[in-house]
Amino acid sequence: MIKTLIICFVLTTGLLKQSSDYTKAKNEKLSILSLDSEFLNQTVFRLINEKRRKKGVDTLEYSAELNNVCRKYQDELEFRRFKNTPSIERKINKQLSSRTKKSGFKGSLVLPIAAQEKALDYDKKQDFFIMKTETKSEFKLFYGKRPSKNAKNKTRKEVQPLNYFHFAKNILRKLESENKKQLYAKSYNWGGLHLQWYYKSLNKRKIPEIKMIFLLGGHQTAGMW
């Protein structure tokens, strides 16, 4: 009886711990002024490794060298929209090998993956407008039509930002829909990434978006191709 209770307690504790792993990511919402890029990077990285584990593939080891290269590319492509991701990936790939070697990365195989995703929990069926004079709202985007000066009720529902967890899930879902199977390939052992705001999408009548550059690293072998 005591042994059974102990086993139940261990299992329950494990499940509770597993379900609370993303508590912070689910409670913290994306912000322009206080975006925690490192925490967002970690959340996306953890979700990718969870998927790899479920698929029976070794998890990626975080690489500070690849992460630093991602940051530099993000700085260079700061105002570049990642709409045509294959084009962005080709651009990154041109000098990627020399840059990763220079950074100290020891792998012989590196692959770039680019993505861009909306950061707000926006209902696509509804229209929205921007009210730049609204000081209490960070994103200043509201559903419906802009109220007239003489309107009695000027209250409009605000378009809310996503939390870190749901944004991470959305960007991974998008990558999977684009057939980015490399994320779960056995040939890659390391990973580094950096996410940041697409600044041209802010403070406009647009849904703000966040861009991601993910670098996968491994060792090229004769049997790969």
Q: Which CATH superfamily is domain 30-121+164-225 in?
A: CAP (3.40.33.10)
Instruction: Please state the rounded mean pLDDT for residues 177-199.
Output: 92
Res 225 pLDDT > 60: no
In order of 42, 49, 185, 218, 222, the CA distances from 57 in angstroms are 19, 9, 8, 14, 20
Q: Give tens-digit pLDDT for 50-102.
A: 999 999 999 999 999 999 999 999 999 999 999 899 999 999 999 999 999 99
Please tell me the distance from the alpha carbon of residue 104 to that of residue 193, in angstroms, as a whole number: 16
Please tell me the distance from the alpha carbon of residue 100 to that of residue 213, in angstroms, as a whole number: 14
Determine the 3-state secondary structure of 45 from DSSP: helix
Please tell me the distance from the alpha carbon of residue 128 to that of residue 139, in angstroms, as a whole number: 12
Report percent pLDDT > 90 for the chain.
Answer: 76
Res 153 pLDDT > 60: yes
The CATH 3.40.33.10 domain(s) of the chain lie at 30-121+164-225
Global pTM?
A: 0.85
Q: Give tens-digit pLDDT for 95-134.
A: 999 999 999 999 999 999 999 999 999 999 999 999 998 8
pLDDT band at 154 (very low <50, low <70, confident <90, very high): confident
